[in-house]
Amino acid sequence: MTSNILQDITPLEKRLNYTFKDQSLLIQAMTHRSYLNEHADFNSAHNERLEFLGDAVLEIIVTEHLYTHYNNPEGELTAWRSALVNAKTLADIGDELGFEEFLLLSKGEARDEKSKARMYILANAMEALIGAIYLDGRTKAAKKFIDAYILSRLDIILKDKLYIDPKSKFQETAQEKLGVTPSYKVLEESGPDHQKEFTVGVYLEKEMIAVGKGTSKQEAQISAAEAGIKAKKW
């Protein structure tokens, strides 16, 4: 299926609330390396250089905002910034903006809709998009976009303490509410050594609260803790 961006770029610009002077920058931001493997004659580079630029632009604008508006210690500001710019947050924003349908991907990547790799593709495209907006409209345009779609999430991040990693949050809440420290147990290991998947259960005393999966035990524990927070409605 041909990406919508090759048919008409205007709907994506409307979603982003930004009109490009140089639309080729937007097309490049939406072009994944895998697409060029199948379309060697495509008249655009992939988005990795824009991603490199956008990552730096995003970090400096978010950092300046936090430094200017909050007198909190460095460690807290760092945690807040991480919660704002991590891959999950950026992928969620990309998903909400609905720009996945405009991504130029290989057929294989396009079919693989639910993988963790897709989350990183979306997050990287978001950074590339910020890089493209910066090149097209400089700092003012990039800041307006970041204020509207990323920094606007800060209030909910602070209110719900989303800057605390899931394992720490689950443990602190369990100790506060129940006087219990969570424990984790590997339930299953599958896959070859170079591509292991771990299934981990999180327990409160002897009761298993939730299950998580990951490519490492730590990742699976974090996934289980996230699921545990949802299961307990914490």
User: DSSP secondary-structure letter at 225?
Assistant: H
Torsion sign, CA atoms 126, 157, 64, 147: positive
Q: What DSSP assignment string belongs to 60-114?
A: HHHHHHHHHH----HHHHHHHHHHHHSHHHHHHHHHHHTGGGG-B--HHHHH--S
The β-bridge relationship of strands 183-190 and 207-214 is: unpaired
Residue 26 contacts residue 132 (beta carbons within 8 Å): yes
Catalytic, 127? Answer: yes
The CA distance from 57 to 65, in Å, is 12
The CA distance from 53 to 131, in Å, is 5
Residue 234, SS3? coil
Annotate 111-143 with b (16+ C-beta within 10 A) or e (fewer).
Answer: eeeeeeebbebbbbbbbbbbbbbbbbbeeebbb
Q: What are phi and psi of 42, to 5 degrees?
A: -65, 135
The CA distance from 62 to 75, in Å, is 15
The CA distance from 63 to 82, in Å, is 10
Q: Active-site residue among 51, 109, 127, 226?
A: 127
Q: Active-site residue among 51, 55, 100, 226?
A: 55
Looking at the annotation, which residues are catalytic? 55, 127
